[in-house]
Amino acid sequence: MAKLNSFNIDIKFIDTTNWQELTWYNSGGTRAKKVLQDPYDNEYYFKCSERKPAKGGKPEKYYKYEFWNEIIAYQLGKNLGLDMLRYDVAVFAGEIGCISPKMTITDEEQLLDIGRFMTALNPNFLPEDNATRTEYTFQLLEQTLEDFKISKYWEFIFQTILFDAIISNSDRHQENWAFIGKNTIKTKSFEELEKEAYDKLNWLHKWPYPNLINKEKNEFNTQVQQAILETINISKMAPIFDSGSSMARELTDGRIDLLLSSEKELNKYIENGKAELHWNGKKISHYNLIEDLLNSAYNEQVLLAANFLQNWQQELITVILEDTCKVVPQQWIEYCIPNNRKMLIQKLIALRFQRLNKLINDRVR
């Protein structure tokens, strides 16, 4: 066991007042990020906590402290030995949020989310259409890694799934894990190829003949798949990023106090948490997903990926939470995580780790 003073916790507060916003960039994702450039021409992505507007008679939802989850997840994962994208506290244009560096270094590099590969294999998976979310499955992920000859990244994939179980991440969708690659053919970019695919599929949806549509879709997606293999040279997997939809970010103060006062309600909340990645078309809990993996041919690979759990110390999350507000200036103090929310995060992560660790240890014995 490491000593408390061996924890590497280094939360920073970054004032971007003098930074330039690159307004012509589109960062993508479910919530668009602002792309900022520091005085040394380094690029960063800044995002605030999510606001959901009032709709259908329901009031607005504002997950005020959500941006902290990215920072906590980074500090936690880093100390467990995982490859994490760094997040820090930042302010920009009168707003507070989190900031992370651009993951690609050179102009030739591209960040390629895994959904781009999945949609090339499965024409029925249309990420922008919620009705097709059941197509976002582990089985499609498995086919994707095999067909695109990138199965060497399984350990990282399983580490991410295990880490998401600890922090209760409910939003590891197809854009929230990615590869870094280089375009080896200058005549046509990946984006141009992808646009051709979507234009073709949108056009096919207007046809009234289902059999012809499916035949054309399959043939065209095979061509896209081959073109991607020929065009993109994947060099590595991107670090774990976008972990904000976790650690009970959606709970109100009243709900937090209820969970803190009732072990039954707390355990029920933990059991109800679902992973975004489906299993054979069904949305299941993080633990059921891991149980299914442990009962599959990937059992040994999952156990190998779980080695990082040996770096766990209960004090780690306590120290991280204690440090969250030490760097925040007084004018932003209202955005510090309240004590009841900190207590709940501590309990949740401790209990979720215990549950996960038992699943793994039961297989090792």
Token pair in block for residue 66: 């959500």
pLDDT tens across 323-357, in order?
999 999 999 999 999 999 999 999 999 999 999 99
- Between CA 198 and CA 345 the distance in angstroms is 41
What is the three-class DSSP state of 337?
coil
C-alpha span between 208 and 151 (Å, rounded): 38
The per-residue pLDDT for 146 is: 93
Q: Region 151-155: what's the mean pLDDT?
A: 96
| Residues 310 and 298 sit within 8 Å (Cβ to Cβ) | no
pLDDT digits (tens, 9 = 90+) for 269-287: 999 999 999 999 999 999 9
The answer on pLDDT for 102 being more than 70 is yes
Residue 69 near residue 249 (C-beta atoms within 8 A): yes
Q: Is residue 359 in some structural domain?
A: no
- Is residue 28 scored above 60 in pLDDT? no
Output the six-digit token pair for 183.
């375009």
Residue 109 has what pLDDT? 86
The stretch 134-143 carries a mean pLDDT of: 97
pTM of the model: 0.88
Instruction: Please state, as a whole number, how many other Cβ atoms lie within 10 Å of the Cβ of residue 261.
Output: 9
* Domain contains 194: yes
196 domain-assigned: yes
Contacts of 192 (CB under 8 A, 6+ apart): none
User: Which residue is associated with the tokens 């809990």?
Assistant: 285
Of the chain, the end-to-end C-alpha distance in Å amounts to 21
What pLDDT sits at residue 31?
Answer: 56
The torsion region of residue 99 among left (phi > 0), alpha (psi -120 to 50) and beta comes to beta
Cross-strand pairs, 97:
90
268 assigned to some structural domain: no
- Report the range out of 3-17, 30-44, 139-153, 225-239 with the highest average pLDDT: 139-153
In the prediction, which pLDDT does 312 show? 97
Q: How far apart are CA 352 and CA 247, in angstroms?
A: 11
Does residue 214 belong to any structural domain of this protein?
A: yes
- Res. 42: pLDDT tops 50: yes
pLDDT at 32: 57
The residue-averaged pLDDT of 308-336 equals 96
What does the mean pLDDT of the chain come to?
A: 88
Has residue 163 got a pLDDT over 90?
A: yes
Domain-embedded: residue 153: no
Contact 277, 292 (CB under 8 A): no
240 - beta bridge partners? Answer: 84
Quick check: is 300 in a domain? no
How many structural domains is the chain composed of?
Answer: 1
Token pair 């106090």 in the structure block, residue: 257
pLDDT at 266: 97
Distance of CA 280 to the CA centre of its chain: 21
Domain encompassing residue 211: 109-146+180-237
CA distances to 12, 36, 92 from 18, rounded to whole Å, are 17, 10, 9
Do the Cβ atoms of 101 and 86 come closer than 8 Å? yes
Element (H, E) at 159: helix 154-167
Look at residue 195 in the predicted model and tell me its pLDDT: 66
Of the ranges 97-101, 104-108, 198-202, 237-241, which one carries the lowest mean pLDDT score? 198-202
- Residue 280's pLDDT is 97
Could you tell me the CA-to-CA distances from 259 to 94, 266, 269, 346, 349 in Å, in that order? 34, 5, 8, 12, 14
Q: What is the pLDDT of residues 233-272, one digit of tens each?
A: 888 999 999 999 999 999 999 999 999 999 999 999 999 9
Residue 284 C-beta-side C-alpha neighbours within 13 Å: 16
What's the distance, CA 277 to chain centroid?
11
pLDDT at 212: 44
76 inside domain: no
Q: Decide: 90 and 15 in contact? Cβ < 8 Å.
A: yes
> Which comes out higher in pLDDT, residue 222 or 311?
311
pLDDT at 128: 87
Residue-wise pLDDT for 75-98, tens only, equals 999 999 999 999 999 999 999 999
Q: Are 237 and 141 spatial neighbours (Cβ–Cβ below 8 Å)?
A: no
